[in-house]
Amino acid sequence: MQDLINVFIKSAFIENMVLSYFLGMCSYLAVSKTVKTAFGLGLAVIFVLFITSPVNWLLHEYLLKEGSLAFLGESFATVDLTFLKFIAFIAVIASMVQLVEMIIEKVSPALYNSLGIFLPLITVNCAILGTSLFMVQREYNLAESTFFGLGSGFGFFLAIVAIASIREKIRYSAVPAPLRGLGIAFIITGLMGIAFMSLMGIKV
């Protein structure tokens, strides 16, 4: 259990998807204009990651990996389908996001309307595919993958709510005109990234 908590803390704080690996930037920069939308998007991302991480792990372990097709027969024992992982993972993510979209539309139409196009855009959020690809690269087991997904989602949630709060405040400051909006958001994110670097050496 301690091991799993470590994976969670590592992926949420020390190797934050947004502020250490800089994945998920597009929706991070586009949705963080107000805290309400950022909050909603963060929760949606946690939910999608929580579901897609174990599903992708199972898919990779029992269908794609070399030798995993042995249950079909002797001749299939050496088949290696890992080159299909991009297509398979993205298909799983797309269907899960469709599911989340339907749930949110039912449960909270206000949130659904305020998120607009960015809800389906979670499908192409680098952080989600990136989590699955990292999980495969680091060869986690099922429990570790689930906690890794949860941790990544939580890290994304923290980062996007943080920058939304800063951007809400900074709208009323005297930022030079060419830097207003996008430019200053980049610089703030850079500073947040450096701040998160201070967590780099922590051993859990």
Residue ranges binding another protein (CB under 8 A): 21-26, 29-30, 33, 83-87, 90-91, 94, 120-121, 123-126, 128-130, 133-134, 137, 176-184, 186-187, 189-191, 193-194, 197
Q: Sign of dihedral through CA atoms 151, 114, 179, 25?
A: positive
- Tokens representing residue 72 in the block: 């079909």
Smaller CB distance to another protein: residue 63 or 70?
A: 63
Smaller CB distance to another protein: residue 34 or 75?
A: 34
Smaller CB distance to another protein: residue 70 or 98?
A: 98
Rounded to a whole number of angstroms, the minimum distance from the CB of residue 33 to another protein is 8
Smaller CB distance to another protein: residue 1 or 177?
A: 177
Q: How far apart are CA 7 and CA 201, in angstroms?
A: 15
Rounded to a whole number of angstroms, the minimum distance from the CB of residue 1 to another protein is 28
The DSSP line for 80-110 is --GGGHHHHHHHHHHHHHHHHHHHHHHH-HH
CA distance from start to end of the chain: 13
Q: How far apart are CA 103 and CA 107, in angstroms?
A: 6
Q: How far apart are CA 125 and CA 138, in angstroms?
A: 20
| Nearest one of 12, 23, 2 to 149, comparing CA atoms | 12
Rounded to a whole number of angstroms, the minimum distance from the CB of residue 190 to another protein is 3
Rounded to a whole number of angstroms, the minimum distance from the CB of residue 95 to another protein is 9
Rounded to a whole number of angstroms, the minimum distance from the CB of residue 40 to another protein is 19
Rounded to a whole number of angstroms, the minimum distance from the CB of residue 185 to another protein is 8
**Burial tier of 67 (Cβ tally within 10 Å: 0-12, 13-18, 19+):** exposed
Smaller CB distance to another protein: residue 109 or 183?
A: 183
* Cα 118 off chain centre by: 14
Smaller CB distance to another protein: residue 182 or 202?
A: 182
